[in-house]
Structure 1
Amino acid sequence: MSDKTKKKLCLACNSEISGRADKKYCSDYCRNAYHNELNKDFNTYIRRVNNVLRRNRRILARFNPKGKSKVRESTLLEEGYNFGFHTNVYNTKKGGKYYFCYDQGFIKLDDGWVALVVRQDYVR
């Protein structure tokens, strides 16, 4: 069988493909299924990180209903806050660091306290 008469098979389901010569999948469903399978591990990791970030934001928002408050660091930990995950860091001119989960943030204070803030100018 020559290359011109050889039938191409779908990369996802191995069914015969008809149509354009450079076609790789028999349908949009198969194209999506193939790429979802390729990215499965990456998508699982991203989903887990996003879940942690969303949980962190919910915890900060619950303890900061008015836009500014103070809470013990240990209280956030007891609620399940993970200090290793945040979306961005804002460095102050005095050398302090605000850690944000989207629009909700905090800065560490002395003696185990953190000041909670809401970033007003987050989207520019």
Structure 2
Amino acid sequence: MIWQSFDYPGDTFLPGMKFGKDLVTGLERFMTSWKSPDDPSLGVYSNIVNINGYPQTLGRQSQVLQARLGPWNGLGFSGFPIEKENNIYSIEFVMNDIEIYYTHVLKSSVVQRVVLTWDGKTLFLQ
């Protein structure tokens, strides 16, 4: 099997990456922070998709829950204010017998990325 960087996002989530779980192989795609701004080894923060019950995005510090966006309701995450539609990207949610994941789809040539910082902040950058 060939290692693919999109299967292991580290601290950066780019358009086209899957954020969730492959139910066939068990591969989980999640974000992990750096240890510090200049040390890329694993930090203590992670953003994951919890597939128990309705799939939802969780932010954790080690194993301690820090944030919960709630499940996707078709327009946005139920625990997060619904974003108005923008011309840069859209979020898609896929749930079937093979996988459960979120992804960002670009609508323009502006690059959108999500970064989990070493101190636990999730940033949406353009």
TM-score, normalization: structure 1? 0.27
TM-score, normalization: structure 2? 0.26
1 or 2 for the larger relative contact order (CA 8 Å, sep ≥6)? 2
Which structure dedicates a bigger proportion of its chain to strand? 2
